[in-house]
Structure 1
């Protein structure tokens, strides 16, 4: 997972160069010559970058807050001015992330363990071991919920209780709570020897959704 997020930073950094290549000058009756760029490309990059900053830095981080400030166009400024500011914040976040300043050593180790276990679950599923894959993915999910409870000073216990407490605390919304409940049902069916109650596709989505949950809430 750490590598995937690092790779994502690299991908979006490369997109910066593509957007900069669209930079040009345009005459304006009101302001004379102004800087322009491909606004659609810039908007797409901005949305993807904000999502990555939330995943790696958090909504309350200085990096994310500065990025939000940078995206605003004030007065006589142009989208190009805004893009240059967002680029600077993005590069700062990428540098801090790659050098380990955004995540604790414990979280880094845990993320690597989770990533390895989800890959194992995917391999088991590919080899026809559907129940085992679901059980492993379920263990990763439950461990992630326990870690999230610890981070937010909430009591740990059974998966359903932790899921409910985290939603009540506003750590994630009701929709995410329902999705986790559905994933837990798949895990429970697998653990109780009822493979007929879920499909290979259910387990594929379980692994995918668990990975996305980890990226969003524990990175």
Structure 2
């Protein structure tokens, strides 16, 4: 599964990058050299513009392959946008006349220009917004994929934590009090670390523990004072289970740690 996810992400990144170059290639084909230079002003140094243009992919030669690959990925990641993506490429059935609004990329590829009474009614530049809309859909698929990965990661992690807490409860039931508390403490620490990462909180300390992570979350206004106090109390019980060999934690204390950790997993994200 991880291999497929990496491949899809790599393909999306590559297609979005190629699509951006195809957009420039299409624009270059429908505007004058002078207009294109103005558009690229500040983007590419003037003395390198000709070399840049020369390296641009030829739209007509590269688009079909790009479209086919992009369509497959959109079907996988954003299936509700497939019809829209296709409609920007294919000539609409029953189209009686070509207008600016229904000019599609197939028309551009065939070099279709519509004239009326000796004047140009629709020209190939009408395909530019159509392709840009396709590229926008692909970028939306990229964003959706990133969001899906986050959701998958959260679901998998939640399942792992639930199973670990379940194991801790079983240990507590069988009177392995310290072991149950140690496992619960690990789950709590992992969760707090993940919350810090999700919120972009920098963890400077190399081996930050529950107390350190709790302080960071409070300083970042990610948790409120009552939650901070609750986590501090849970951290104290965890330390009692792991470090304090002179005093035995009670079953009631470890049960509080297990229940409290379960509550924090659901309330702090």
Give TM-score scaled by structure 1 length. Answer: 0.51
Task: Give the structure 1 partner of residue 194 of structure 2.
Answer: 147
1:199 paired to 2:229? no
Contact 1:167/1:177 (<8 A) preserved = yes
Q: RMSD of the TM alignment (CA)?
A: 2.1
Among residues 137, 140, 144, which one is paired with 2:184 in the alignment? Answer: 137
Structure 2 gap segments, 5+ residues each:
1-146
Match of residue 186 from structure 1 = 237
CA contact (8 A) 1:189 1:195 kept: no
Distance in 2, Cα, partners of 1:104 & 1:132: 31
SS in 1 for 2:247: helix
Which residue does the alignment assign to 2:77? none
2:137 — aligned with what? none
Residues 131, 193 of structure 1: 8 Å contact kept: no
**After the TM superposition, which residues 54-133 of structure 1 pair with which residues of structure 2 at under 5 Å, given as runs?**
104-133=151-180
Aligned to 2:268: 217
Asked if 1 retains the 8 angstrom alpha-carbon contact of 2:178 and 2:249, the reply is no
Please identify the structure whose Cα radius of gyration is greater: 2
By how many angstroms is 1:196 displaced? 3.1
Structure 1 regions of 5+ residues with no counterpart?
1-99
**Aligned twin of 1:58:** none
Partners of 1:155 and 1:182 in 2: CA distance: 23
Are the equivalent residues in 1 in contact too, given 2:177–2:249 (CA < 8 A)? no
Shift of 1:180: 0.9
With normalisation by structure 2, the TM-score equals 0.42
What is the distance in 2 between the residues matched to 1:126 and 1:192? 22
Number of residue pairs the alignment of both structures matches = 119
Following TM superposition, by how much is the alpha carbon of 1:187 offset from its aligned partner in structure 2, in angstroms? 1.1
Q: 2:184–2:261: 8 Å Cα contact kept in structure 1?
A: yes
- Partners of 1:127 and 1:145 lie apart in 2 by 28
